[in-house]
Amino acid sequence: MEKEAMRIRFDFSNVMSDNLGDLFGLRETVLKNYREQVTVIHHDFLRRAERGEFAFMNLPRQKEVLDEILDYTEKIAGRFESYVHLGIGGSALGPIALHAALRHPYYNELSPEQRGQAPKMYFLDNIDPDTIAAILAVVDVKKTLFSVVTKSGGTAETISEYLFFLNKLREKLGENYRENLLFITDPLRGFLHKLALEENIRTFTIDPAVGGRFSVLTPVGLFPAALSGIDVNQLLDGAAYMTKICQYEELLKNPAYLFGLINYLYYLEGRRTIVMMPYSDRLFRIADWFRQLWAESLGKQNNRANRIINAGPLPVKALGVTDQHSQVQLYMDGPNDKLFAFLEVEKFARTVSLQSPYPKAPEANYLNNKTMNELIAAEKLATEIAFTENQRPNLTFKVPEVNPFTVGQFFQIFAVAAAFTGELFDINVFNQPGVEAGKVAAYALMGRAGYEEKAAEIARKLAAKKAHVV
C-alpha cells in the first residue's frame, strides 16, 4: 500500500536493554508497566478532544482552509517577485521547516523559471537591525508581498517589523500599499485583526484553539508553503495519516506515546537532554521546530497541582554528519546524560556517484564506485553503533523519503508526543508563563504606557547593581 510505504518508522531498538545493556537500557516490562497510565491518558485525550482541546489534531482535515489559500495563491500567481514573512517563534519555525525540507537548498538563488515563477522567500524571525535593513538590498518593496504573522496580533517583534515595512510600502505605493500586505492572525481578537477590518487588508485566520507552536498546519505554515509550490494537500494527507497512528491506544503501536514515554523515563533518571540529529540538511529545521515545541511545552515551573517542579528536558539540535566533527566527541566521551534521536532518510532525491582516479590512495580508493548516499548512510549507522556500544541511548526515526507526505507526519508525531509527555509530567503543555517577566520588562524599558511602575523598579535595581566587568 502506497501510504504504508511512506510511513515514518520509529526505531527504539537502541534504548532497549537487549541491545543497550542493563545499566542504561529499558526493559520491555518497564514500558508495559505504563500501559495502564497510557490508557488513562489516552481516554482523557479523547474526552478533551471532544471538548475542543487538541485542535491541532484536527488541522489535517481542515481542507476548506486549504482551498481558500490555494484560491488566493492562484489569484496572485506571478504578481510578486518576493515574499517576506514577518513572524517569530511559532509563527516562523513551522514555515521555515517546511521551506527548508521541501524546496531547493539554494531556492532564492534559482532563476524565476527554476522556481516555477514562485517568489523568492524570506522569513524574518528576528529584529536585528542589520538584517532588517539588509533585506532592502535584495527585494523590491513594490514587488514584494509582506505577510504579518502573529496569532495574538500584538507580538512586539512582529509589529515593529510591520511598522518598518509598512512605511516603506507607503513610500513606494501610496494608498495601494494594501495590495502588498497579508495578515495571518486570530479571527476574532487582537490588534492585527482590528486593523485588518479597519484598513481592509487580506487576512487568513488561525484557529483560536491552536497554540502558536502547534500552528504549522494552519495558514501560518500552509500559506507560504503553497505560495512556493509545495504540495500542501500531500502535506495534510501525511499529517492526517500519522495522526491516526498516533491515536492508537496500544502503547507499543503508537510512536508518539512511545517517544514521549522513553523521553520521560530517561528524564526521571537524570538524562535531561534530548539531542535531535537529522542526517539530512533538509530536515535540520524540523529539529529547530521541535526545539520550540519541546522546550515551551514541557519546560514548566509548576505542575498542575501547582507544586514547583522546574521540569523540562533540554532539546538540542545537531546535524549529521556535520556534527560528528563538532559534537560527537562530547556525546561519546562526555557525561552520559543525553538521549539521542536521529532522523534518517532512507532514499534521498538525488544519487551522487563517486569515482576515484587514485587507485593507489587508500584515502580515496574505498570511495571509488560508491555513492555519497552510501557514505552518509554508513556514517549514520557507524555513529549509531558507536553510541550503542558506548551505552549512549539512541532512537531513530526512519523517513522513506523527504516529501510533503512524510514531513506532514513529523509534525503530528511530535505534537502528539509533546501533549502526551506533558501528561506524564502532569503539566499544562499549552501555556508559556515563563516568558511573561521578560516581556513586561521589555515593555517597561521601551516606555510602554501602563508599565511605568515596572520601569521605575528596573531603574532602581539597575542603579543598585554591582558591576563586575573586565
Spatial distance between the Cα atoms of 205 and 184, rounded to a whole number of angstroms: 5
- Catalytic one among 269, 347, 439, 452? 439
User: Based on CB atoms, which residue is closest to a second copy, 65 or 124?
Assistant: 124
Among 316, 400, 426, 428, binds a second copy (CB under 8 A): 316
User: Based on CB atoms, which residue is closest to a second copy, 59 or 88?
Assistant: 88
Whether residue 325 lies in the annotated active site: yes
Q: Could you say which residues in the range 395-424 bind a second copy, by CB under 8 A? A: 402
Our finding on whether 176 is near a second copy (CB under 8 A) is no
User: Read out DSSP for 10-66?
Assistant: EE-GGGBHHHH-TTTPBPHHHHHHTHHHHHHHHHHHHHHHHTT--GGGTGGG-HHHH
Among 361, 452, 456, 459, binds a second copy (CB under 8 A): 361
User: Based on CB atoms, which residue is closest to a second copy, 154 or 400?
Assistant: 154
Q: Smallest distance from the beta carbon of 415 to a second copy, in angstroms?
A: 15
Our finding on whether 42 is near a second copy (CB under 8 A) is no
- Burial bucket for residue 389 (CB in 10 Å: 0-12, 13-18, 19+): exposed
CA of 366: how far to CAs of 356, 357, 358, 382, in Å? 9, 11, 10, 16
Amino acid at 136: L
Among 389, 452, 456, 459, binds a second copy (CB under 8 A): 389
Spatial distance between the Cα atoms of 4 and 104, rounded to a whole number of angstroms: 26
Spatial distance between the Cα atoms of 48 and 52, rounded to a whole number of angstroms: 6
CA of 167: how far to CAs of 130, 132, 173, 448, in Å? 17, 13, 10, 21
Our finding on whether 273 is near a second copy (CB under 8 A) is yes
Q: Could you say which residues in the range 211-230 bind a second copy, by CB under 8 A? A: 212
Among 196, 263, 291, 405, binds a second copy (CB under 8 A): 291
Q: Could you say which residues in the range 46-85 bind a second copy, by CB under 8 A? A: none
Beta carbons within 8 Å of 294's beta carbon, 6+ residues apart:
274, 313, 315, 414, 418
Whether residue 439 lies in the annotated active site: yes
Task: Give the Cα-Cα-Cα angle 418, 424, 428 (nearest 5 degrees).
Answer: 60
Spatial distance between the Cα atoms of 470 and 462, rounded to a whole number of angstroms: 18
Whether residue 296 lies in the annotated active site: yes
Our finding on whether 201 is near a second copy (CB under 8 A) is no
- Cell numbers 491518558 correspond to 41
User: Based on CB atoms, which residue is closest to a second copy, 40 or 446?
Assistant: 446
Our finding on whether 173 is near a second copy (CB under 8 A) is no
User: Based on CB atoms, which residue is closest to a second copy, 93 or 145?
Assistant: 93
Using CB under 8 A, which of the segments 39-47, 223-231, 235-243, 320-328 binds a second copy?
A: 320-328
- Catalytic one among 325, 360, 461, 465? 325
Which active-site residues does the annotation give?
A: 296, 325, 439
